[in-house]
Amino acid sequence: MAINTIARGSGARPPSAPGGCCAQLVKFLWSWMGVMFNYALHPSNFYREFCTRPQTFKAPNRSGEVAVLTGGTKGIGLEVLKKLLESKFHVIIGCRSLIAGEEVMTSIRNGGITTGSCKVFELDLKSLKSVRRFAENVLREAPRIDLLINNAGVMFAPYEITEDLCESQFQVNYLSHFVLTNLLLPRMKETSRRSDKHVACRIVNVASDANYGGHIDFDNLEQCKVYVSNKAYSDSKLCQILHAYYLDSLLRSEDIKVNVLSLHPGVIVSDLWNNMPSVVVAIVNMFKWMLRTTEDGAKTVIYTALSPKLEGVGGVYINSCEIVQPVSQVSDISIQKRLWDKSLELGKI
Ligand SMILES: NC(=O)c1ccc[n+]([C@@H]2O[C@H](COP(=O)([O-])OP(=O)(O)OC[C@H]3O[C@@H](n4cnc5c(N)ncnc54)[C@H](OP(=O)(O)O)[C@@H]3O)[C@@H](O)[C@H]2O)c1
């Protein structure tokens, strides 16, 4: 099978997205309408998104504990990193550029946050080889793992098939995080068994309300026979939520104190929007005052990761520090299980 990878900056033209125009239009509309219908059918979700801000939550002291964070160099992840350091965690961040990671740490320290400690390892979520190398480094570095935040992501990326033969948004947002979670899970289980603090370890998937425009079709999952970037993004975020629900139920059935949660951080203007047409970005920027900031986004992530109010709670989806219902497919256990089995196969676990 031909590998359709696009080398960044190589000047190679991206392969054209598969699927006929009609099929693409249907998918495009499905995804946007799903998100819009969510707001139309649940005005409280619209109100929460555009008229409220998540409450500030004083993060507890977690000195001596270890957190792993993907994508901590900018956007929401950067604000999350600052809060984890303020909570005195030893934070391990995975990012594509070690230099960017080191520079971020220097600027955080220069900005006056002196607590906590940080180690940066290279991680490219487009490559399962890189994910495995990152996991090996983490396991060598950390005798315990109390918290894993799967935050890094891409949105509306042009069509690209990775070296692992998956569509890139599916792999970066979902599959690589699935594999990373599996590789770190035994250490988290050990940590939860040894912990005398009576606080469960947590795995947090930073998903999105884009899930309301998602629908898992197993014939069209990892390679997208019909590709529309917004639908692929929605599906990848839906996969993250299904993963959180299923893994939490598995761990609960084994009485293991590791809780798995997912969340929507809010609609936030960040580099994530760089793949949008510039006219859309201009319109979004006009309404920026209605939208949340990266600090607001980080509040929901930190609340989900650390709040004592969520102690023992898992398999839920959180928006603005409240538990809300994602799209109905999430509650279908047969889909959760089928996605789990397919992901084990794709991740070669
Ligand atoms: N912003 C929103 O409106 C919004 C809404 C809902 C959900 N979310 C979710 O929130 C999360 C963070 O988004 P954000 O707004 O903070 O976006 P952002 O500012 O673009 O940050 C994305 C992060 O992901 C990392 N990343 C991207 N591709 C990667 C790869 N192949 N390997 C490793 N790291 C990679 C980036 O690292 P580099 O520095 O190397 O690029 C960056 O640290 C995402 O999962 C996103 O889907 C955001």
pLDDT reported for residue 11:
45
In angstroms, the CA 289 to CA 286 distance is: 8
Assigned domain for 224 exists? yes
Say yes or no: CB of residue 96 within 6 Å of ligand 1.
Answer: yes
203 CA to centre of ligand 1 in angstroms: 17
In angstroms, the CA 228 to CA 158 distance is: 9
Assigned domain for 17 exists? no
Say yes or no: CB of residue 73 within 6 Å of ligand 1.
Answer: yes
Q: Tens-of-pLDDT digits for all 349 residues of the chain? A: 333 333 333 444 556 788 888 888 888 888 888 888 888 888 988 999 999 999 888 889 999 999 999 999 999 999 999 999 999 999 999 999 999 999 999 999 999 999 999 999 999 999 999 999 999 999 999 999 999 999 999 999 999 999 999 999 999 999 999 999 999 999 999 999 998 777 899 999 999 999 999 999 998 898 888 899 999 999 999 999 999 999 999 999 999 999 999 999 999 999 999 998 888 888 888 888 889 999 999 999 999 999 999 999 999 999 998 999 999 999 999 999 999 999 999 999 8
Pocket test for ligand 1, best of 96, 209, 300 (most atoms within 8 A of CB): 96
- Short-list 303, 264, 298, 272, CA closest to 82: 298
Active site residue 39: no
Assigned domain for 177 exists? yes
Closest-CA residue, ligand 1 atom 17, reads: 272
Assigned domain for 89 exists? yes
197 CA to centre of ligand 1 in angstroms: 32
Assigned domain for 166 exists? yes
Atom of ligand 1 nearest to the CA of 72: 43
Domain region containing 228: 41-346
In angstroms, the CA 304 to CA 284 distance is: 27
Please give the structure tokens belonging to residue 1: 């099978």
273 CA to centre of ligand 1 in angstroms: 10
Assigned domain for 274 exists? yes
3-class state of residue 342 by DSSP: helix
pLDDT reported for residue 13:
52
Q: Can you say whether the dihedral through the CA atoms of 103, 285, 234, 330 is positive or negative?
A: positive
165 torsion bin: left (phi>0), alpha (psi -120 to 50), beta (else): left
Say yes or no: CB of residue 272 within 6 Å of ligand 1.
Answer: yes
- Short-list 83, 125, 93, CA closest to 236: 125
Atom of ligand 1 nearest to the CA of 76: 16
CATH code, domain carrying 80: 3.40.50.720
Atom of ligand 1 nearest to the CA of 268: 3
Pocket test for ligand 1, best of 270, 284, 295, 300 (most atoms within 8 A of CB): 270
* Number of domains the chain contains: 1
Query: Global pTM?
Result: 0.94
Assigned domain for 8 exists? no
pLDDT reported for residue 28:
84
* Angle subtended by helix axes 333-346 and 229-253, to nearest 10: 100
Assigned domain for 245 exists? yes
Closest-CA residue, ligand 1 atom 45, reads: 153
In angstroms, the CA 159 to CA 170 distance is: 11
pLDDT reported for residue 59:
82
